[in-house]
Amino acid sequence: MHFLVLRVFHSRNLRLSLALGLLFFWVSRAQAQTTQVHLSVLSPSAAKVKIEITGAGSRAWSFPNTFGRMIGLAERIEDVEGRDSQGRDVQLRKLAPGEFRSGELIDRISYEVTLRPPPAQGDTSHVSWMTNEYGLFMLGDLLPRFENGPLREIDLTFDLPPGWSIASSSEPAEKDRYQVSRTDKAVFLSSPSLREQRKRVGTTDVSVVSGNGWGFKDRDLMGIVTKLIGEYVMTTRRPLPGKVSLLVIPFSGRVGPDRWSADTRGRSVVLVMGKEGSRGALLSRLRVVLAHELFHLWVPNALALEGDYDWFFEGFTLYQAMLTALRLHYISFNDYLDTIARVYDSYRSSAERDKLSLIEASERRWTTSASLVYDKGMLVALLYDLRVRRASGNRRTLTDVYSGLFGEVTSNQEASDVVISVLNSQPGMNKFGRDYIQTAGQINLAQELEPYGLDVETTGSISEVTVSRIISSEQRQLLKALGYKK
């Protein structure tokens, strides 16, 4: 009996040892085969970089050709070469712009990319580009998709011009070298004049990166960012542990702060803005723009939701950012009313305003309905906020929806279903999603705002929103909760 037990024990030990040995072998092999990506800046003036990828092992790959409204991105790719694991050249076939195939397994691919800035300034925060002064590298449009899927985890190194440095929301493993786990979210900014400030806000390590020539002090910008980060932690009740980065880039030429372009990808916020203006004008614009853009670090980037719900994370978040700016005295109550009027006028100018629901507009955002997602989404958020305030006696607002939303999301759920469920859960709001989000229909703002003591006067294409001459005590209390002073 003892001998039998001993043999069983040794047998199990042997199997465990073999299993551990095999596990160690495969882990070691996987580590040894980590995909290596090397990005070399060939010429800032020619906006040209070379990228070499080793260890992906594929017979087919394709480069992204579109992003949002931009098309033809794959046409930037040239001089593509492939080699097998022995270093021998492999013949490639180009099937279409950015589409390549080979009869043999390719271990190493190299190619050059011309990264001229986009023709439209509004697109400069959304794709990779380069000048003599800055290089914005977004791996989502620089790396190809292989036959077994997109690259996920890579070992990335940069070869930069002398005197240039690089910054990112990722921490470098060593100088100019990064371990990247989500290539579609990775953003890097390079320049010979980068300055980085860092500050801890709760569990968040905030990094603000900018260049020379701005008409404000570094601490001015950091003060805005940290204040907003703190506000949104309270709004969502969801801290953001780890590092987040704001990368601020100036437009070239004499451009004022009224021109800007922003994109939030993963834990990086990219803001390209005109820098010609007074300190006050620059900071005023930064406060308003960042009130919206920094909130994207949470919505949608920290939510594990699936599907098109731009109507919420753009339209509703625009309104929520305006509430934040109003509460922080970045804007006045009159600014709040004026913004509503301008958004309403933009909404009225859309030919599709009464033809598409917000769900449908989100699905078509990059084809025909981009402005409708923002404008109608923001107006519907306004109506929701006012209804909730009145129904609760100003005890609840749209802000409460965001903390409730983060409490509801547990896995990759259908976004619009989850958000509408949270919106409908407030007392008296059980049909709101059906009436304003899932159903097409036109918004008559004058009719909608009258119960809240607000008048809408429209002359031609111009509207004005004002407080009614005579308002009830209930209306006054609601408007005072928003920031009305009289």
pLDDT, tens digit (0-9, with 9 covering 90-100), for 83-125: 998 999 999 999 999 999 999 999 999 999 999 999 999 999 9
The answer on 172 and 54 residing in a single domain is yes
What is the pLDDT confidence band of residue 152, given thresholds at 50, 70 and 90? confident
Higher pLDDT, 294 or 146: 294
| Chain length of the chain | 486
Higher pLDDT, 152 or 6: 152
- For 66, the enclosing helix (H) or strand (E) is strand 66-67
The predicted-structure confidence for 15-49, as pLDDT tens digits, reads as follows 434 443 433 333 333 334 589 999 999 999 999 99
Strands 93-96 and 89-90: unpaired
pLDDT at 26: 36
pLDDT at 352: 84
Say whether pLDDT at 376 is over 70.
yes
Higher pLDDT, 205 or 152: 205
Say whether pLDDT at 136 is over 90.
yes
The answer on 131 and 262 residing in a single domain is no
Among left, alpha and beta (phi > 0; psi -120 to 50; other), residue 485 is alpha
The predicted-structure confidence for 156-191, as pLDDT tens digits, reads as follows 999 999 999 999 999 999 999 999 999 999 999 999
Query: Which percentage of the chain shows pLDDT scores above 70?
Result: 92
What pTM value is reported for the model?
A: 0.89
- Domain count along the chain: 3
Angle between helices 473-482 and 333-348 (to 10 degrees): 90
Sign of CA dihedral 383, 387, 393, 397: negative
The answer on 200 and 180 residing in a single domain is no
Domain final position from 165, 190, 215: 190
Indicate whether 17 belongs to any domain.
Answer: no
Domain final position from 190, 207, 240: 190
pLDDT at 4: 34
The answer on 213 and 117 residing in a single domain is no
Summarize the confidence of residues 60-69 as an average pLDDT.
90
Q: Quote the Cα angle for 76-82-83, to 5°.
A: 160
The answer on 179 and 69 residing in a single domain is yes
User: Do residues 169 and 267 lie in contact, with contact meaning Cβ atoms separated by under 8 Å?
Assistant: yes
Report the chain's mean pLDDT, rounded to a whole number.
90
Question: 176 by DSSP, 3-state: which?
Answer: coil
The predicted-structure confidence for 398-456, as pLDDT tens digits, reads as follows 999 999 898 877 667 899 999 999 999 988 899 999 999 999 989 999 999 999 999 99
The answer on 314 and 246 residing in a single domain is no
What is the pLDDT confidence band of residue 369, given thresholds at 50, 70 and 90? low
Say whether pLDDT at 315 is over 80.
yes
The answer on 243 and 276 residing in a single domain is yes
Query: Which percentage of the chain shows pLDDT scores above 90?
Result: 79
Indicate whether 52 belongs to any domain.
Answer: yes
Distance between CA atoms of residues 464 and 91, nearest Å? 65
Indicate whether 180 belongs to any domain.
Answer: yes
User: Do residues 285 and 275 lie in contact, with contact meaning Cβ atoms separated by under 8 Å?
Assistant: no
The answer on 323 and 250 residing in a single domain is no
The amino acid present at 60, given as its one-letter code, is A
The answer on 324 and 282 residing in a single domain is no
- For 61, the enclosing helix (H) or strand (E) is strand 48-62
Indicate whether 18 belongs to any domain.
Answer: no
pLDDT at 194: 95
Sign of CA dihedral 378, 382, 383, 387: positive
The answer on 181 and 69 residing in a single domain is yes
Indicate whether 19 belongs to any domain.
Answer: no
Q: Which domain holds residue 213?
A: 193-290
The predicted-structure confidence for 233-262, as pLDDT tens digits, reads as follows 999 999 999 999 999 999 998 999 999 999
Domain final position from 142, 162, 190: 190
Count other Cβ atoms within 10 Å, centred on residue 301. Answer: 18
What DSSP string describes 93-158?
A: EEEETTEEEEEEEEEEEEEEEE-PPPSSGGGTTTS-EE-SS-EEEEHHHHS-EETTEE--SEEEEE
Domain holding 286: CATH number?
Answer: 1.10.390.10
Higher pLDDT, 56 or 343: 343
Q: Which of 53-62, 109-118, 377-386 has the lowest mean pLDDT?
A: 53-62
**β-pair partners for 306:** 414
Cis peptide bond prior to 300, omega within 30° of 0: yes
For every residue of 367-428, which 3-state class applies, written as one string? HHHHHHHHHHHHHHHHHHHHHHHHHHCCCCCCHHHHHHHHHHCCCCEEHHHHHHHHHHCCCC
**β-pair partners for 58:** 106
Indicate whether 278 belongs to any domain.
Answer: yes
Indicate whether 30 belongs to any domain.
Answer: no
Domain holding 113: CATH number?
Answer: 2.60.40.3650
The answer on 278 and 319 residing in a single domain is no
The answer on 282 and 152 residing in a single domain is no
Indicate whether 23 belongs to any domain.
Answer: no
